[in-house]
Amino acid sequence: CILLPLFISLLFTSFWLLPVLYFVWLFLDWKTPDQGGRRSAWVRNWCVWTHIRDYFPITIVKTKDLPPENNYLMGIHPHGLLTFGAFCNFCTEATGFSKIFPGITPYLATLSWFFKVPFIRDYLMAKGVCPVSQPAIDYILSHGTGNLVGIVVGGVGEALKSNPNTTTLILQKRRGFVRTALQHGAHLIPTFIFGETEVYEQVQFHQDSWMYKLQSCFRLIFGFYCCIFYGQGFRQGSIGLLPYPLPIITVVGEPLPLPKIEKPSQEVVNKYHTLYVDALHKLFDEHKTQYGFSETAKLLFL
Report which of 300, 299, 289, 284 is spatially closest to residue 63, judged by C-alpha positions. 284
Contacts of 165 (CB under 8 A, 6+ apart): 197, 198
Predicted confidence at residue 222, as pLDDT, reads: 64
| Whether pTM exceeds 0.85 | yes
| Below-50 pLDDT ranges, the chain | none
Go through the chain and tell me how many residues it has.
302
- Mind listing the pLDDT tens digit for each residue in 15-67? 888 888 888 998 999 999 999 999 999 999 999 999 999 999 999 999 999 99
Q: How many other C-beta atoms lie within 10 A of the C-beta of residue 5? A: 8
Three-state DSSP state, 202: strand
Three-state DSSP state, 256: strand
Reading phi first (left if > 0) and then psi (alpha if -120 to 50, else beta), residue 165 is in left
- Give the separation between CA 2 and CA 231, rounded to whole angstroms: 25
- Give the separation between CA 50 and CA 12, rounded to whole angstroms: 40
CA R_g for the chain: 20
DSSP per-residue letters across 97-165:
HHHHSTT-EEEEEE-GGGGGSTTHHHHHHHTTEEESSHHHHHHHHHSSSSEEEEEETTHHHHHTT--TT
- Give the separation between CA 6 and CA 142, rounded to whole angstroms: 39
Strands 58-62 and 248-252: what pairing? parallel
Residue 125 near residue 85, CB atoms below 8 Å: no
Report which of 49, 45, 29 is spatially closest to residue 37, judged by C-alpha positions. 29
- Give the separation between CA 200 and CA 21, rounded to whole angstroms: 41
Predicted confidence at residue 237, as pLDDT, reads: 80
Judged on CB neighbours under 10 Å (0-12, 13-18, 19+), 291 is middle
Strands 168-169 and 229-232: what pairing? unpaired
Contacts of 102 (CB under 8 A, 6+ apart): 68
Three-state DSSP state, 194: strand
Strands 201-202 and 229-232: what pairing? antiparallel
What is the sign of the dihedral through the CA atoms of 247, 196, 133 and 101?
positive
